[in-house]
């Protein structure tokens, strides 16, 4: 499914790009050991010829006949039944494949295992294994699922740079998209060869060590407002407003550990 990590901790990977008192800028590497990665829930309903996928802010129908069906803007997805509890899925942007996955439900029907092979903008392939647990009742692929292990869609590294005029540039190597935004709440579009038209992000500054952000699809919030904290200039702790306060730990590369894996108040 479309996995969006709820939170993470990153460790500093390089020297600060600007002055020492600007602790945001630098290259940050994901620390999975100190991160609690989850994604949003998705509700899948069986419809004639396929399935209806509801992510909250967006929803669409995909047939299970292996044909491409439009999803978000220039994006499309195909889904094909390959077994009693297995499906083969392909994601494309502007008609070009960006990843393909094998989806398999465990015999007890409670867990959805997703093995993905993605191709980055440099033509290199990356593999991940994601896990989603069934929430409540359902049969086969139909039901509500929530991810508890986020894989290929969780960037291993992000770069935050000064874009001038009070703007921040956020990019991830090989991700194929970036944004340049002023942290004043005004939505800014994602750009780059892998960006999807209509997807924007809104940033705003809470304090010198805390920012908040929300992603939008066609003007509708897709992610819940999240928090980014800088801890001593060596760690970013990201967390959203979900009740479980799950986090991801991002730190500058070369650090062995970070001091917190939970959002700070």
Q: All domains of the chain, ordered by start, with CATH?
A: 8-39+154-252 (2.40.128), 41-149 (2.40.128)
Nearest 5°: the CA angle 218, 196, 94 is: 130
Q: Are 248 and 8 in contact (CB under 8 A)?
A: yes
pLDDT of residue 223: 67
Strand partners, 46: 51
User: At CB < 8 A and 24+ separation, what contacts does 196-201 make?
Assistant: 196/72, 196/73, 196/74, 196/75, 196/93, 197/73, 197/74, 198/72, 198/73, 199/72, 199/73
Strand partners, 184: 204
Q: 226 φ, ψ to 5°? A: -115, 165
Distance CA 243, CA 10 (A): 21
pLDDT of residue 240: 58
pLDDT of residue 145: 92
At 32, list the tokens: 């999975």
pLDDT of residue 248: 53
Strand partners, 132: 112, 147
DSSP 244: T
CB contact burial 69-104 (16+ within 10 A = b; e otherwise): bebbeebbbbbeeeeebebbbbbbbeeeebbbbebe
Question: Within 13 A of 104's CA, how many CA atoms are on the CB side?
Answer: 8
Mean pLDDT by 10 residues, the chain (265 residues): 43 43 78 68 93 86 96 89 96 90 96 89 80 90 82 70 90 81 91 82 87 84 72 72 46 38 33
């Amino acid at each position: 499914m479309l996995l969006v990590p709820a939170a993470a901790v990153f460790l500093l990977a390089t020297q600060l790009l600007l002055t020492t008192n600007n602790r945001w800028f630098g290259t940050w590497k994901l620390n999975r050991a100190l991160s609690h990665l989850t994604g949003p829930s998705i509700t899948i309903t069986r419809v004639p010829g396929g399935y209806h996928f509801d992510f909250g802010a967006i929803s669409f129908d995909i047939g299970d006949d292996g044909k491409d069906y439009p999803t978000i803007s220039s994006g499309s997805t195909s889904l094909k039944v390959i077994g009693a509890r297995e499906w083969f899925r392909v994601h494309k942007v502007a008609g070009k494949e960006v990843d393909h996955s094998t989806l398999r439900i465990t015999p007890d029907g409670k867990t959805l295992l997703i093995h993905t092979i993605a191709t980055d903008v440099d033509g290199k392939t990356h593999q991940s294994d994601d896990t989603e647990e069934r929430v409540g009742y359902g049969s086969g692929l139909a039901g509500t699922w929530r991810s508890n292990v986020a894989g290929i869609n969780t960037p291993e590294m992000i770069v935050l740079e000064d874009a001038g005029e009070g703007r921040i540039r956020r990019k991830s190597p090989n991700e194929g998209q970036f944004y340049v935004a002023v942290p004043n709440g005004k939505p800014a579009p994602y750009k780059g060869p892998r960006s999807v038209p209509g997807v924007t992000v809104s940033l705003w500054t809470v304090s010198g060590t805390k920012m908040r952000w929300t992603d939008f699809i066609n003007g509708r919030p897709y992610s819940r407002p999240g928090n980014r904290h800088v801890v001593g200039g060596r760690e970013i702790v990201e967390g959203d407003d979900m009740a479980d306060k799950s986090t991801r730990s991002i730190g500058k590369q070369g650090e062995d550990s970070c001091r917190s894996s939970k959002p700070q108040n």
